Amino acid sequence: MLFTLSGRKQVAMHNDTEAVLTRRGLLALVGSVAGSAAMYQAMTSLGFAAESRYRGPIKLEGDAKGASVLILGAGLAGMTAALELRKAGYRVQVLEFNNRPGGRNWTIRGGDKFTELGGAEQTCGFEEGLYLNPGPWRIPFHHRAVLDYCRRLGVTLEPFIQLNHNAFLHSSAAFNGRPQRIREIKSDFQGQVAELLAKATQQSKLDEAVSTEDKEILLQALRSWGALDKNYAYSASLVSANFRGYARDPGGGLAARPVAGKPANLSDILESRLWRYLQNFALYQFQTTMFQPVGGMDMIGKAFAREVGDLIQYDAKVTRIQQHDGGVAVSYVNSRTPGMTQVAKADWCVCTIPLSILSQIPIDVGSRMKAAIDAVPYASSVKIGLQFKRRFWEEDEAIYGGITYTDLPIRQISYPSSGFNRNGRGVLLGAYVFDVANSFEFTSMAPADRIARAVELGSSIHPQYRTEFENGIAVAWHRMPFTLGCAGSWTDEAREDHYDDLCQIDGHFVLAGEHASYIPAWQEGAILSALDAITRLHERVVKM
């Protein structure tokens, strides 16, 4: 969620003559100038915004009374519930649509096959050791629940590189279509804004917001932050080159003297709109340090399955959910070879089925919960993994991890955060498409055409695509039969009207999953929602 506050400036008077900005006034000023995302960032820095509410393993104390719980879905929410409920003394059974654990916690490797809606089947041709995470692919440092379960379950983590200053920002309509290094745009934009603000400070344009004493400190800060010269100007110099990089790097011997690069004009940066991508490095959910499991994101799902795999029945497609006075009865068939309907019964049900699927299943819940289930559409997203003959992004362009951002329909190219400086093949995330128009366009294509389109567009940024590409895999989430979309897409209005109803215990039935959280599309939201749901369920059981 992004928070929107009033842009009204609150000023406290100091010595009745000098105006200083209060912390709350600063937040309002940041919000009015830079937008709600920047203000949320400032809130976190000033201690006004909370991190994940996870504070350690839950303790389900009290007698479970031999109660049974049926869990629908073996994603992270479902397996979290299964692990903790069994530990608390419940009899647990899990029904899972796929033939593997994890749900959207999924990694695709060479030899893996999957079929999307419409019947298109793909077989991954990646070399052994290479993979694509088509769902979650990174873990923020403040997602404490995910990190704690990784520690408890023995999942080894490594850094995920979100920001690489040497990756690219690209606009097809700016700088003659040439990709620009992040460090150059970031430094040039920051430096020239700092110069403008320094001039305004020197000309006493900020008297209403900054005290005389703080004005000198602000000028020093702007000179340091913006790499300004002694005249508070941002220009081609070894000072600015120390931030943006050099036209010729420092060397050794007779030709060792470095040469500063020429900064881009502020007007060119503004018109290019490349500054829009810089927020991706400041937003709370993308700040360093970020992590990924060594060997693929599904290492988390596999670790959970080592603990609760004996409780999971795979290839189980739920077709009906019924409630009665004594509990629940769930009808299901084999998802691969539908035939005879089977029925699983329990005292309680924890349902983690995505709402895009659940809304199509006959279910016995109250009208308010049913309205909530039906109210949440699912976002469209497409990820495309591309294997190349060599890691040219490292060999040719010195890009080790990180993300390139572009206005082309592929939107993002992510470079692997492991296997650095090795010879041989490598896999890029060649497209991460999430805006509605482009994701629907890619989804409408056959898988081979999605891959070909990603290679074509990516060649505008990396010409090496044309000669180095070998094979690819394309996952369009609206065509995945177990989700029909990427993640729950709440609006503020829908949350106001339906969120609390979605999270209530309805008879013997309760929902969990990323859709039942304020951290949608993240694994942390799935786990926290499961912990909350089973805590409330257990309290009800103990009091019965």
Tokens of 67: 């109660």
Contact call for residues 73 and 352 (beta carbons, < 8 A) = yes
pLDDT of 210 reads 74
SS3 of residue 86 by DSSP: helix
Whether residue 442 contacts residue 449, with contact meaning beta carbons closer than 8 Å, is answered with no
Residue the block writes with tokens 């049926």: 70
Sheet holding 342-346, edge to edge: 316-324, 327-334, 342-346
Q: At 28, which amino acid appears?
A: A
Bridging pattern class, strands 139-140 and 348-351: unpaired
CA 401 to chain centre: 16
Rounded CA separation 49/495 (Å): 20
Q: For residue 395, give the amino acid letter.
A: E
What is the spatial distance between Cα 166 and Cα 397, in angstroms, rounded to a whole number?
8
Considering the domain delimited by 187-272, tell me its CATH architecture.
Up-down Bundle (1.20)
Which pLDDT value is given to residue 51? 53
- 328 within 8 A of 318, measured Cβ to Cβ: no
DSSP state letters, 411-474: -EEEE-SSSTT-SS-EEEEEEEE-SHHHHHHHHHS-HHHHHHHHHHHHTTT-TTHHHHEEEEEE
Query: What are the structure tokens assigned to 37, written together?
Result: 């995302």
Half-sphere exposure of 32 (CA within 13 A, CB side): 11
Residues of the chain with pLDDT under 70: 1-51, 206-208
Bridge partners (DSSP) of residue 147 are none
Q: Which CATH code of 3.90.76.10, 3.30.450.30, 3.40.50.300, 3.90.660.10 fits the domain covering 108-166+289-296+379-479?
A: 3.90.660.10
Strands (E) located in 249-400: 259-260, 290-293, 312-313, 316-324, 327-334, 342-346, 348-351, 382-388
Q: Where exactly are the structural domains of the chain?
A: 1-49, 68-102+299-378+485-543, 108-166+289-296+379-479, 187-272
For the structural domain made of 68-102+299-378+485-543, what CATH number should be given? Answer: 3.50.50.60
What is the DSSP secondary structure assignment for residue 203, as one 8-state letter? T
Q: The whole model's pTM is what? A: 0.88
